[in-house]
A and B are shown apart, each in its own frame.
Chain A
Amino acid sequence: MIKKVYKVLPGTGIRIKKAGIFDFDGLYKDMKSWFIEHEYLFHEKEHTEKDLSHGREILMKWYAEREIDDYAKFRIDIFFFVEKFTRLDKKAKAELKITYFASVELDYKNNWQKNPLYKFLFFIYNNYIIKGRILTNYEPKLKNDLREIAKGYLE
């Protein structure tokens, strides 16, 4: 059943782990640039840093949204958890965990949420009339965007 927020990834998201020496500045800046170039409205919702005895701990929560048309909007949430972070010249040594979440928000302008009749029509529209478009157009497009992010900066 397709709801207002249609999740294209499992509930726990996709997790990527990386440990060692890597270009953290590059990863941080390039990922934001990718969102801007692909017309996403990007926000760093939370950024926490703590100095601990074994290195710095960084927690970041990002979200980016893109209006696909008047009806659907993509949303990507990315959580970073970095441990044992130490700077080494231009690179950094750390343990990095990244979790991705992605969803398509339907009727993001809330035109079909005004009363129970509209909501019923909204349900019929999504699950019978444009179900094909959601599954064969929106979902692969969003998954492709996710693939690009992961491929470009983490492989």
Chain B
Amino acid sequence: MSEKLVIGKELKVKYNGIFDLPDLYRKMKFWLEWNGYGPEKGMEKQYTERIKPNGKQIEIKWVATDEASSYVHKVLEVTFLVIGLESIEIEKEGKKIKTKKGDVEMRFTGYLVLNAGNAMGDDLSYKNWIYKKFILKRNIETYKIDMYDDLTDFQDEAKGYLTMQQF
């Protein structure tokens, strides 16, 4: 069985104001693809749209995997919850532009999956034990740092798009 090593769990980014959801969606998806996370199809586990009296409500969940090696996979999970999304018109440089306004909450989780797909047999197998104890031990810190960097960069990408404070 594979083992999950959580690096960061449910880190929230919330924004209330004007934003272009389709553009945010595209930018975030592009970041994942550019950084080797996939698969392009099947990454989206949920997409729900509801019409509510105060505007549209949208829920999206992505689970994106980077197969860092046959033994270690890096996984980024993100959920979007958009509420009260309504169309508005703003004036920019003398021109009227149609855009959207609402509340968006994104939750980011990043973890490593060890022995992904039981590459080294089950947990009790000697192959898995030897691999974990002697070979992976040297590299696991690098994978953890990589995962941490990806998680914070991905979180920063969303904040940057929403003109929020970034690191």
- Among A13-21, A24-32, A126-134, the stretch that binds chain B is A24-32
Residue A51, interface by CB 8 Å: yes
Judging by beta carbons under 8 Å apart, are B167 and A46 in contact? Answer: no
Residue A147, interface by CB 8 Å: no
Judging by beta carbons under 8 Å apart, are A48 and B167 in contact? Answer: no
* Contact partners of A45 in chain B: CB under 8 A: 10-12
Q: How far is the CA of A28 from the CA of B165 in the complex (A)?
A: 8
Residue A44, interface by CB 8 Å: yes
Judging by beta carbons under 8 Å apart, are A24 and B17 in contact? Answer: no
Judging by beta carbons under 8 Å apart, are A24 and B165 in contact? Answer: yes
Contact with A along B17-61 (1 / 0, CB 8 A): 110000000000000000000000000000000000000000000
Contact with B along A32-67 (1 / 0, CB 8 A): 100000000101111111110000001010000000
Closest chain A CB from B68 CB (angstroms): 20
Total interface residues on B, using CB and 8 Å?
18
* Contact partners of A43 in chain B: CB under 8 A: 8, 11
- For A27, give the chain B residue with the smallest CB separation: B165
* Contact partners of B159 in chain A: CB under 8 A: 47
Judging by beta carbons under 8 Å apart, are A28 and B167 in contact? Answer: yes
Residue B148, interface by CB 8 Å: yes
Closest chain A CB from B16 CB (angstroms): 4
Q: Determine the main DSSP class of B at the interface with A.
A: strand
Residue B5, interface by CB 8 Å: no
- For A28, give the chain B residue with the smallest CB separation: B165
* Contact partners of A60 in chain B: CB under 8 A: 165
Judging by beta carbons under 8 Å apart, are B167 and A29 in contact? Answer: yes
Closest chain A CB from B40 CB (angstroms): 28
Judging by beta carbons under 8 Å apart, are A50 and B16 in contact? Answer: yes
* Contact partners of B97 in chain A: CB under 8 A: none
Judging by beta carbons under 8 Å apart, are A49 and B11 in contact? Answer: no
Partner of A49 from B148, B162, B167 at Cβ < 8 Å: B162
- Could you list some 8 contacts between A and B, CB below 8 A? A28-B167, A43-B11, A44-B155, A46-B14, A48-B13, A49-B14, A50-B16, A51-B18
B residues whose Cβ falls under 8 Å from a Cβ of A: 8, 10-18, 148, 152, 155, 159, 162, 164-165, 167
A residues whose Cβ falls under 8 Å from a Cβ of B: 24-25, 28-29, 32, 41, 43-51, 58, 60
Known: A46-B12, A49-B14, A51-B17. 5 other contacts (CB 8 A): A28-B165, A29-B167, A32-B167, A45-B11, A49-B162
The 5 closest A-B pairs by CB, nearest first: A48-B14, A51-B17, A50-B16, A46-B12, A49-B164
